[in-house]
Amino acid sequence: MLDSITKAELLEKVRAARAEWEALLAEIDPERSSEPGAMGDWSIKDIVAHIGFWERTVLDGLRTGERGLQGDLDEINERVFLANRDRPLDELLAEERETYQQLLAAIEALPEDELSAPDRFAWTGGRPVWVLVAGNTCWHYPEHRESIRAWLAGR
């Protein structure tokens, strides 16, 4: 893993990974978006809600300096799944894409020196903020991309 990264490099990585994510989403028939199996029991719709939640969490942390999450990751992900499972795909996509745009703006507004400062935000647990941004964007999309590709190939 990198020790540091410039804002321009981070934004480039985020945008490149996002372009791949959007291209993958474009391959998916909206009629199948609620079918389980895209990743375990999750549907495409569930994954979109999950991605959006974690982008929103980082965005809120950048804006407020706090991270208001409680519970372990599996518990949090289950709560996100339950809260969003009945929402339509178009609503989830619109919300997630808006969150992504807001997150890009927040990254662009962040002073360069704060990206690698491990003590800038308490919620990062001593890690540089760029690691949390990458972990919920350019490193996160590929985590789900491969299982979605396998699901698409199996149809």
Express each pLDDT in 107-132 by its tens digit: 999 999 999 988 888 888 888 999 99
pLDDT higher than 80, residue 69: no
- Residue 138: the pLDDT is 97
Residue 106 falls inside a structural domain: yes
- Residue 126: the pLDDT is 87
Residue 75 falls inside a structural domain: yes
In the chain, the number of structural domains is 1
In tens, the pLDDT along 143-154 reads 999 999 999 998
Q: What is the CATH number of the domain that holds 61?
A: 1.20.120.450
Containing domain of residue 65, as a range?
7-153
In tens, the pLDDT along 29-52 reads 999 999 999 999 999 999 999 999
Sequence-distant (6+) residues with CB within 8 A of 11 are 104, 107, 108
pLDDT higher than 80, residue 93: yes
Residue 129 falls inside a structural domain: yes
Query: What angle (nearest 5°) sits at the alpha carbon of residue 139, between those of residues 96 and 148?
Result: 65
Residue 12 falls inside a structural domain: yes
Residue 2 falls inside a structural domain: no
Confidence (pTM):
0.93
Tell me how far apart the alpha carbons of residues 61 and 121 are, in angstroms, rounded to a whole number: 8
Residue 112 falls inside a structural domain: yes
Residue 1 falls inside a structural domain: no
